[in-house]
Amino acid sequence: MTPVKNEPVLSIKDVSVFYGIIQGLHNVSFDVQKGEIVTLVGANGAGKSTTLRAISGLVKPKTGQINFKGENIVGVPAHDIVRKGLCQAPEGRGIFLNLSVAENMDLGAWAAPDKGAYQANMDKGFQLFPRLKERRKQLAGTLSGGEQQMLAIARALMSQPEVLLLDEPSLGLAPQIIEKIFEIITDINKSGVTILLVEQNALQALQIAHYGIVFETGMIKTHGKASELLRSDEIRKAYLGD
């Protein structure tokens, strides 16, 4: 659907997902170019998270193809998809509350292709999130919501992903913290990680993204450069609360 510049790192083609008899996604197709931040925005139940879950292998699409670096990954078990370089920070953070911050990060490195880079990755994570370093021995469950989200992102980075899938990183956080998280997402992207960002907070997501895809009732309503979407009156009215 996007004009083909070069081979996209992630390409979703005609993907449909069913939950029982209910169709959650209707023939969704889009491409993610290497090095970009692509954001999926839309209301509750529009199919954003389902798309992400289909990509990371947590749900299996009924039809369609998901190509990651030219290889169809539909049907590959979720834990093997991580090894290919596609890592998700799951919705609701999904951190291990009864383990320490450092242990959480260790688990993130479980599927890292290069075990030798463990310490370097750990340092990089702590550099991005100095607060986590202070609290590395603390139980993750004692962190604040914002810190838990930081941990979820830092942990996902431990597996050295080429593409990072972020599911609602702003969920339930204070505006200041959200801003900080979004800044860090931009930094991560600048360091060369392609990011696919699912967000309800469309305005902020589109401000940091290169490309935006607007979902509605399991279908793609519209898509385009993030800056253009932000200017479009129709989009502003429907999704950005103007």
Partner 1 sequence: MKNKKQNKNALNPTDPFCGFASLRWWLLAVAVVWVLNSILPDLMGPYYFQILILAGINVILAVSLNLVNGFTGQFSMGHAGFMSVGGYISAYITTQLIVSHPEIMNDAILGSAVFVGSLLLGGLGATCTGYLVGLPSLRLRGDYLAIVTLGFGEIIRVVFLNMDAVGGARGLSGIMQFSSFGWVFTLAIFTVFTVWRVVHSAQGRVLLSIREDEIAATAMGVNTTQGKVRAFAMGAFFAGVAGGLFAHYLTIMSPGTFDFNRSFEIIIMVVLGGMGSISGSVVAAVLLTSLKEALRPLQQLTGVDLRMVIYSLVLITMMLARPSGIFGTREIGDIYRDWRAGKAPKDAKKLKASTPSKGGAA
Q: By CB under 8 A, which span of 9-17, 37-45, 74-82, 120-128 interacts with partner 1?
A: 74-82
Question: At its nearest, how many Å lie between partner 1 and the CB of residue 172?
Answer: 7
Contacts of 57 (CB under 8 A, 6+ apart): 73, 76, 77, 78, 79, 80, 81
Query: What is the distance between the alpha carbons of residues 61 and 76, in angstroms, rounded to a whole number?
Result: 11
Q: Which of 29, 103, 124, 240 binds partner 1 (CB under 8 A)?
A: 103
Residue spans of alpha helices (H) in the chain: 48-55, 78-83, 101-108, 118-128, 130-134, 145-157, 175-190, 202-208, 226-231, 233-239
Instruction: Report the residue number, 44 or 176, with the smaller CB distance to partner 1.
Output: 176
* First-to-last C-alpha distance (Å) of the chain: 28
Q: Which of 62, 69, 83, 133 binds partner 1 (CB under 8 A)?
A: 83
Q: Which of 7, 63, 141, 234 binds partner 1 (CB under 8 A)?
A: 141
Instruction: Report the residue number, 118 or 219, with the smaller CB distance to partner 1.
Output: 118
Contact footprint for partner 1 (CB under 8 A) = 56, 58, 77-80, 82-83, 87-90, 94-100, 103, 106-108, 110-111, 131, 135, 137-139, 141-147, 149, 155-156, 159, 172-174, 176-177
